[in-house]
Amino acid sequence: MPQEFTAADVAEHIARQDPAATLRRIAAHRRILKRHSPQEEGMGAIPPDFIEYREISPVCERCGQPGEYGVVWPCDDVRDLAEIYGVSPS
Ligand SMILES: [Zn+2]
């Protein structure tokens, strides 16, 4: 039999979860995800005239070193954030 919750139970649960802190945490995670967005062209530091590389996986905008091809997206940071929410980023 499913458990019945009263309005007071729900209110107590919401207060215990600290909605303001939850919203701040989600906003921070969104900022992290934005910084670790995939580059659409997946080119990293590869010159655009190297057509043969256009089919490679997208790379993270943030990870990797300048002059490198980039880290394949989803990078480790995106994978760690996805794990928090129990989802697969790929
Ligand atoms: Zn990254």
CA distances from 84 to 35, 38, 42, 62 (A): 17, 20, 26, 20
Residue 43 CA to ligand 1 centre (angstroms): 15
**21-40, pLDDT tens digit by residue?**
999 999 999 999 999 998 86
Rounded CA-CA distance 56/5 in Å is 51
| Interval between CA 63 and ligand 1 midpoint (Å) | 4
Q: How far apart are CA 38 and CA 27, in angstroms?
A: 19
State in Å: Cα 8 to ligand 1 middle: 42
Domain ranges of the chain: 7-84
Ligand 1 centre distance from Cα of residue 71 (Å)? 7
Q: Which residues contact 57 (CB under 8 A, 6 or more apart)?
A: 42, 72, 73
pLDDT in tens, 64-78: 776 677 788 899 999
CA of residue 6 to ligand 1 center, whole Å? 43
DSSP tag of 60: B
pTM more than 0.85: no
